[in-house]
Amino acid sequence: MRAWCLLLLMPTMLFAQDNMWDDDDWAEEEERTYWTGFLEAGLGTRFEEDPLVAGRSTLEDLRWRAETEWQLDRYTVDLKLDAGYDGVENEWFADIRDLSLGFTLGENTDVSIGRQVQTWGTGDLLFLNDLFPKDFQSFFSGRDDEYLKAPGNAVRVSHFSPAVNVDFVWTPEFEPDIYLTGERFAFFSPLAGNNVAPRFTALEPQRSFDNGEFALRLFRTVESSEYALYAYRGFFKQPSGLTTSLQPTFAPMSAFGASLRRPAGPGLFNAEISYYDSRDDRDGSNPLVPNSQLRLLAGFEWEARTNFTIGLQYYVEWTLDHDELLANSFATEFEPDERRHLITNRLTWRAGMDKYTTSLFTFYSPSDNDFYLRPQFAYRHSDQWSLSIGGNVFGGEEQQTFFKQLQDASNLYLRLRFNY
């Protein structure tokens, strides 16, 4: 409770320092070592009780963000720190989202070492060749979109040349997604044949050079068209494999892909493909290890009317050696379809000189017959205050499908943020 009072007091303390911009401010701007960030309170609740998870609350965050940057000669250190209290898990937390050292080698090579968030690929909330860690607990509970991307400890080397640009990211210790453990949200277990909330921890690969993650992107823009090739060696990011003692684990995986993004007609077209090579189950016969997959995506986005944008995507997850999978399965009825089709739609409407943003993101799978809706209304009251209200609504037909399993996690949330 005391922390909440502090949240309400902070702005008055900071407003007092506010004054109109005058000529002196310009001079100050450059030299000042800044600290910026925000204070945020977030509350979210389920529509209905989930018998497997205690309490209806899906979000109870009180979060303080502090950000700064130090420059020493040609070196830059970035820091982004989150600290606060998570009422759903009943714990204080301190997360470093960014603590990295950046510098330039020679003329055309940028290096960044340390904890950092990384993103690439062309999908909108769909990731094929982007195998950097994602935080689905944050995503499903209504935290800011930023938290979908989890930080990882990595070395990034980017080389730029007119012929081709190269990004190489080495993550020495495997960084899995922040997956559903049953603590905040229950999920479907094919072994149990129903939803479970075991609060489990998956077995992570042992620390070794060979068990690190290596990600490569070659990219180039030619006449408004962006081309990229990708390669990855590491593991499936979700604990979709099982050890022989049936403990969830991460199966070895390599990926190869390509993407294109370019203007087309009134909007933007993007296409991406990725082949997931399940290295421990190349013929698909091992029921403990996920099969290889082909993932395909095509999307189109355009401003249909002034300040109203529509984005459509079509995505396919094609499980290879599907016959082998079924032939060796423990429970064929819970295995994925050979081809899982997914259609997404993002509608965004901005109004009042961008003060109000209303959006709806829809995932719908015609093959699984399940859906996930993400409505959101965001109001930016001032440079300091903003408010977001939204929902995560899941549904479908069969319990084992991806979105249907989360039906009891359907929630509404509200976030109030003060930027400083």
Stretch that binds another protein, among 44-52, 258-266, 318-326, 399-407 (CB under 8 A): 258-266
Segment contacting another protein by CB under 8 A, of 42-50, 295-303, 397-405, 408-416: 295-303
Residue whose entry in the numeric block shows the structure tokens 């390599």: 254
CA distance 47 to 73: 54
5, 16, 24, 30: residue in contact with another protein (rule CB under 8 A): 30
Q: How far is the CB of 47 from another protein (least distance, A)?
A: 28
Question: What is the distance between the alpha carbons of residues 160 and 158, in angstroms, rounded to a whole number?
Answer: 7
| Identified binder of another protein from the candidate list 63, 115, 143, 149, rule CB under 8 A | 149
The window from 18-26, 87-95, 170-178, 395-403 that contacts another protein (CB under 8 A) reads 18-26
- Considering the complex, what minimum distance in angstroms separates the CB of residue 36 from another protein? 4
7 binds another protein (CB under 8 A): no
Least separation, in Å, of the C-beta of 97 and another protein? 9
142 sits near another protein (criterion: CB under 8 A): no
- Identify which of residues 110 and 204 has a Cβ nearer to another protein in the complex: 110
Residue range at the interface with another protein (CB under 8 A); choices 20-28, 229-237, 332-340, 391-399: 20-28
Residues in contact with another protein, shown as a per-residue x/- string from 180 to 219 under the rule CB under 8 A: ---------------------------------------x
Q: Which of 45, 57, 153, 165 binds another protein (CB under 8 A)?
A: 165
Tally Cβ neighbours within 10 Å of residue 288.
16
Q: How far is the CB of 150 from another protein (least distance, A)?
A: 11
Contact window for another protein (CB under 8 A) among 25-33, 242-250, 322-330, 406-414: 25-33
Does position 117 interact with another protein (CB under 8 A)? The reply is: yes
C-beta contacts of 349-352 below 8 A and 24+ residues apart: 349/307, 349/308, 349/309, 350/307, 350/308, 351/307
User: Measured between alpha carbons, how far is 79 from 61 in angstroms, rounded to an integer?
Assistant: 21
11 binds another protein (CB under 8 A): no
Find residue 167's DSSP bridge partners: 158, 217
Decide if 417 contacts 386 (C-beta within 8 A).
Answer: yes
Binder of another protein out of 227, 302, 314, 377 (CB under 8 A): 302
Q: How many residues bind another protein (CB under 8 A)?
A: 51
| Footprint (CB under 8 A) of another protein, residues 320-349 | none
Question: Smallest distance from the beta carbon of 95 to another protein, in angstroms?
Answer: 13
Q: Which residues are within 8 A (CB) of 127 and not within 5 positions of it... i.e. 6 or more apart?
A: 121, 134
Q: At closest approach, how far in Å is the CB of 102 from another protein?
A: 7
Residues making contact with another protein (CB under 8 A): 20-21, 26, 29-30, 36-38, 67, 102, 104, 110, 116-120, 144-146, 148-149, 158, 160, 165, 219, 221, 224, 226, 261, 263, 266-268, 301-303, 306-307, 309, 350, 353-355, 380, 382-384, 386, 419-420
